[in-house]
A and B are shown apart, each in its own frame.
Chain A
Amino acid sequence: MRERWPLIIFAAVMVAVPSIPGMPPFWIVLLDNIGLSALVAMGLVLLTGVGGLTSFGQAAFVGFGAYTTAVLSANYGVSPWLTLPLSLLVAGGAAVLLGLVTVRLSGHYLPLGTLAWGLGLFYLFSKLAFLGRNDGISGIPPLSIGALKMLDPGTIYYAIWIAVLLSALLTMNLLDSRTGRAIRALRRGHVAAEAFGVYAPSAKLLVFIYAAVLAGLSGWLYAHFTRAVNPTPFGAQAGIEYLFVAVVGGAGYVWGGVLGAAIVVILKEVLQSYLPLLLHGEGQLETIVFGILLVALLQLAPTGLWPWLTSWLPLKPAGKKPNTSLTLPARERPTDMPDLLLQIDNARKQFGGVVAVNNVSFDVQAREIVALIGPNGAGKSTTFNLITGVLPATSGNISMLGRPIGKAPPQDVVKLGIARTFQHVKLVPDMTVLENVAIGAHLRGHAGALSSMIRLDRADEAKLLAEAARQIARVGLAEQMDQLAGSLSLGQQRIVEIARALCVDPVLLLLDEPAAGLRHMEKQRLAALLRELRAGGMSVLLVEHDMGFVMDLADRIVVLDFGTKIAEGTPAAIKTNPEVIKAYLGATA
C-alpha cells in the first residue's frame, strides 16, 4: 500500500484542481489536452521504452478510436458509451492486423514500417467518403451521464483524468508481473527471454495491441471532447509528436508519459502564443524549437526528465520481501529416471562454408557433470546453441530423455528441463536481481496479462518471487536481491544467471563459462554448489576455460577443436591425452 501513496495524492490533487477558485478555464483545456496526450504516451512508454519497439504510427490508432465513435455516434446516433468498447476494439483490431506484419520486423525496419503505415492510414482517413474526407465529421454528441452532459472542458476533464489514472494503474500493475517481466526483457534482445519460455513475437504483439488500445481510448475521448474530427491530428506529424512526448518524459517510465505530455502541451502553447511576437514570422515556429529541443534532449538527457526528477525526490522503491514459505510444484520427473539424459548424435552446424560443429557426438547421463572444453573457436557455445534450440542444426540428431529436440524452438527445449546460462551475460540491467531471476520461473507461473492488470495474479506472483528468492539465496546472493542487475560485478552477474536457470527446476543445467570473472573463493563456492546440485539429482554440462576448476569438478570431459571432437574421457585421461595437449599447446610441446 505504501507505494500507492504518491498515486493517491496525485489523484486527489487532480480532483481538486478544477474547484480551485479563479482557475482560468483555459488551463483546464490544457489539462484536458495533457491527459489525452498522456494516454497515448503511456502506450508508447510500454511499447518503446519498455518493450523496445519504436512506433511513429500511434496517431493512426488515435484516429481509429476517434473515427469509430464519430461515425457511429454522429451518423447513426449510437450512444457514446456503447461506442467506447467498439472504439477500443477497432483500434485493437487494427493493431492485431498491423502488428502481425510489423512486430516481426527487426531493428530499424520496424520504426520505418510504422512511419509507412502511419502515413498510409492518414491518407486513407483523408480520402474515404464515409469518414468525410478532409473535412472530417462534425456534430459528435457529448458524453453524458443521465442529465449531465459533458459539454464544457471542466466536466469532461474528469472523464479524461479518470481514464489516465486508471490506465496508469493498470499499466504499472502489468509491468510488475510475470507478463511484465517478459515484456521488459524483450528490449535487450529475445534470446535470453526465449530460453526461459517467453514467446517473443506474442509478447511484442501484446504490447503493440495494448499501446493501440490506449491510443484508441485517447481518440474516443478526443472525439467527444472536440465533438468534431478531421484527419490532421492523426497524421505523421502527430505520430512523431507522441514519440517526442514519451522521450521527453522518459520513455522507460509510466509517469514519464504524463510528465512528457504536460511539458510538451504547455511548451507548445507557450511557443505558439509568444514565438510569433518574438520573431514576427509566420506559422510553425514551434516546430523549429521542438525539433531543436528534441535533438538537444537526446544529446543531454537521453533517458528523459522523469528519472532526473525522481532522483531528487525521497521516493526509493521499497525492496520486495518475498514470502519464501510459498513453493511452486516441482517438475514431474519419471519415477524410473533413465540414465541417459541428453544424447547428441552426429550434430553438425555450418555457417555458409564454415563448419562450426563437425559431426559431434556425446551424451550426458543422469547425476553427472560433463565439461565441454577446447580452445577458442572450437564450437563449444555453438553446441550449446544447438542443444537449446537457438540455432537449428544443419544435420544430426539431438534428443533429451529420448525425445528429439534438434528442430525444437528454445521455448520447447526449456519445457523438457534444460536450462542454460550465457557466455555473454544476458540480464536486464535495469531490473532487480530478484526480477531477473524470476524470469527463469516464467513457465512455472500461469497468470496472463489481463489478470495481472487487475491484480488477480498475486497468489501466482508471490510463488514465483518466492522461488526466485530461494534460488538467489542458494547461490549466495541474498544480500544483492534488490539491487539492479546491471550494478553487480560481472562474476556476480554470472551467478545471477545460474540462479535464473535454477528457477526452471531443470533436469540438466547448461553453464557457459560460469567461472569466468570469479575470484578463487567464489569459484570454490560455485564448485560446491554444482556438486550439491549433482547430489540432488541434477546433471550439469559446462563450458569452461579454467582447467583447475574443470579437472576438479567434472566426471567426464569432452574436448572439441575446430568443431571436431578430439577426445572424451575422465579428467585424468584427458590430462595426458596427446591430441588434447597438441590442440592446446601446439605440435612441438
Chain B
Amino acid sequence: MNTTIMLFLLQDGITNGAIYALLGLALVLVFAVTRVILIPQGEFVTYGALTYASLAAGQMPGTAKLAFAMGLVAFAFDLYAARKSLHWQRIARAFALNVVFPGLVLAATVWAAGQRPPAGINLVLALLIVAAIGLSLYRVVFQPLAHTSVLVLLIASVGCHLALQGLGLLFFGAEGQRGPTLLNASAVLGPLRFTGQGMAVYGITIAFIVALWLFFGLTLYGKALRATAVNRLGARLVGIRTTLSGQIAFLLAATIGALSGILIVPITTLYYDSGFLIGLKGFVAAIIGGLVSYPLTAVAALLVGIVEAFSSFYASNFKEVIVFTLLIPVLVLRSLAAPAVEEEKD
C-alpha cells in the first residue's frame, strides 16, 4: 500500500466517520434522555436526504404529508390524554405544535415543490419536515410507553423502523437518489482534494459535538434532561417536565439525522433503506461510547469510518461483517467494565 492510497482511505474514513459521529451523538442523546435505543434514526437520515433530493428535483416529497398526518394522530393522542381535564391553554399548545406547525410546513413544501427554490430553502424544509415527524413519533409511540423497560422500548423502536422504512419505499420508490451539493468550493492539499461538502461535514460535526457536550455538561436544562433518563419519577418530583424532555430529545435527534442525510446525499446515492445500515454504524460508535459519552462516541465513530474504509479496500465483500463483528468485543468489554448488580423490573 502506498501513502496516497492510505491517505485517500483515511480521508474517506474520516468523512464517513464524521457522519457516524453525528448519528452516534443523536443516539446517545435520545438514549440518555428517554432510554429509547433509536433504531429509526436511520429513517431520519433517509427521509432528510431523499426529501432534500426530491425538492431539488422539483418533486413533492410524501414525507411532508406524513408529518402532517402524524401530527394529527399526535394531537388526537393529546386530546384523548386530556379528556378528563380540558385546559384550553394546553389544547391550544398541542394544536399549535402538532397541527399548525406541520400544516405550515406542508403548505410551504407544496409551494416550494413547484418552484425549484435554492438549496438553502430545500435544506430548511427537509429539516423541518423530519423534525416534525420526530416530534410526533415520540408523542405517538414512545410517550405512552415511557414507563416501560428498555427492552420494550427497543422492540417498539424496531416496529417504528419497519413502518417508517416501508413508508420510505412508498414515498421515494426503490430507485436511489442524489442531491445537489451545499458548497461547491474545493481545495487541493498534496494528493488530497478537499471538497466544500467534505468541509461542511467536518465543521457541522465538530460544532454539534461541542454544543451537545456543553449543553449536557454545563447547563441546568441539559442536566434536567439527564435526570429524566435516570429516574423519571424523581425528575418529575423535582419539577422537570419529562414529556418535554423527550420531545426535545426526539426533535434534536430527528434534526441531526436529517442533517446527516442531507450532508451525505450529494456524496453517495441513497436508497429508501440505506439509512438502517448507516444508522447501525452510528450505533456501533454510540455503544463504544457506552451510550453516555459524547467525545468518546465521536472518536469511536471516526474509528468505525476508518475501519470501514480500509476493510472495503482489502476485503470489500466482508466490509459489513467486519464492522458489525467489531461491536461484539466492544460489548463484552463494556459489560465486563460495568457488571452492574442490576435487577430488571417489568
Contact = CB atoms under 8 A, between A and B. Distances in A.
Interface of A: 52, 54, 56, 101-102, 104-109, 111-113, 115-117, 119-120, 123-124, 127, 187-189, 191, 237, 240, 243-244, 247, 281-295, 298-299, 302, 390-391, 426
Contacts of B331: 101-102, 105, 109, 112-113, 116
A189 B340 CA distance: 11
A244 B161 CA distance: 13
Interface centre among A237, A240, A281, A284 (most CB of B within 10 A): A284
Contacts of B145: 298-299
Interface string B72-103: 00000000000000000000000000000000
7 contacts: A106-B335, A107-B344, A109-B331, A120-B325, A240-B158, A282-B173, A299-B145
Nearest to B277: A119
Interface of B: 37, 141, 144-145, 148, 150-152, 154-156, 158-167, 169-170, 173-174, 280, 283-284, 287, 317-318, 320-321, 324-325, 327-328, 331-332, 334-336, 338-344, 346
A117 B325 CA distance: 6
B338 A287 contact: no
Given A117-B325, A189-B343, A282-B170, A287 B155 contact: no
A475 B324 CA distance: 53
A460 to B, nearest CB: 30
Contacts, number: 147
Contacts of A288: 162-163, 166-167, 170
Contacts of A282: 169-170, 173-174
Given A123-B318, A298-B152, A302-B148, A56 B158 contact: yes
Given A187-B344, A283-B174, A287-B166, A292 B324 contact: no
A116 B327 contact: yes
Given A106-B340, A295-B141, 10 more contacts: A104-B335, A117-B328, A120-B321, A187-B344, A191-B343, A282-B173, A285-B166, A288-B162, A291-B161, A294-B159
Contacts of B155: 54, 243, 247, 294, 298
A299 B161 CA distance: 16
Nearest to A286: B166
A282 B37 CA distance: 29
A107 B338 CA distance: 11
Nearest to B315: A127
Pick the most buried of A54, A104, A112, A289: most chain B CB atoms within 10 A of its CB. A112
Contacts of B169: 282-284
A119 B338 contact: no
B92 to A, nearest CB: 26
A120 B325 CA distance: 6
Contacts of A189: 342-344
A208 B84 CA distance: 47
A299 B147 CA distance: 11
B319 to A, nearest CB: 8
Contacts of B170: 281-282, 284-285, 288
A41 B65 CA distance: 37
B163 A54 contact: no
B43 to A, nearest CB: 10
A153 to B, nearest CB: 28
Given A116-B324, A188-B343, A291 B163 contact: yes
Contact of A54 (B144, B154, B335): B154
A287 B287 contact: no
- Going nearest first, the 4 A-B pairs with the smallest beta carbon separation are A291-B163, A291-B162, A294-B159, A288-B166
Contacts of A123: 318, 320-321, 324
**Centre residue among A191, A292, A390 by max chain B CB count within 10 A:** A292
A191 B341 CA distance: 8
Contacts of A247: 155
A127 B317 contact: yes
Nearest to A106: B335
Contacts of B283: 112
A248 to B, nearest CB: 11
A294 B151 CA distance: 14
A105 B152 contact: no
Nearest to B316: A127
B339 A106 contact: yes
A461 B76 CA distance: 54
Nearest to A302: B152
A357 B340 CA distance: 20
A124 B318 CA distance: 7
Nearest to A98: B328
Contact of A101 (B152, B332, B339): B332
Contacts of A188: 343-344
Given A105-B331, A119-B320, A240 B344 contact: no
A287 B160 CA distance: 10
B150 A240 contact: no
A291 B159 contact: yes
A371 B158 CA distance: 51
Contacts of B320: 119-120, 123
B334 A109 contact: yes
A364 B29 CA distance: 51
Contacts of B174: 282-283
Contacts of A290: 159, 162-163, 166
B37 A108 contact: yes
Contacts of A285: 166, 170
B128 to A, nearest CB: 23
Contacts of B284: 116
B150 A287 contact: no
A499 B138 CA distance: 46
Nearest to A120: B324
A244 B158 CA distance: 10
A295 B287 contact: no
Contacts of B318: 123-124, 127
Contact of A119 (B37, B324, B342): B324
Contacts of A390: 341
Contact of A108 (B154, B161, B165): B154
Contact of B160 (A113, A116, A120, A295): A295
Contacts of A117: 324-325, 328
A293 B155 CA distance: 12
B108 to A, nearest CB: 25
Given A105-B331, A295-B159, A298-B156, A54 B339 contact: no
Contacts of A281: 170
A41 to B, nearest CB: 14
A484 B141 CA distance: 32
Contact of B321 (A115, A124, A287): A124
B85 to A, nearest CB: 22
B287 A291 contact: no
Nearest to A115: B280
Greatest chain B CB density within 10 A among A120, A124, A247 is at A120
B246 to A, nearest CB: 15
Contacts of A104: 332, 335-336
B335 A291 contact: no
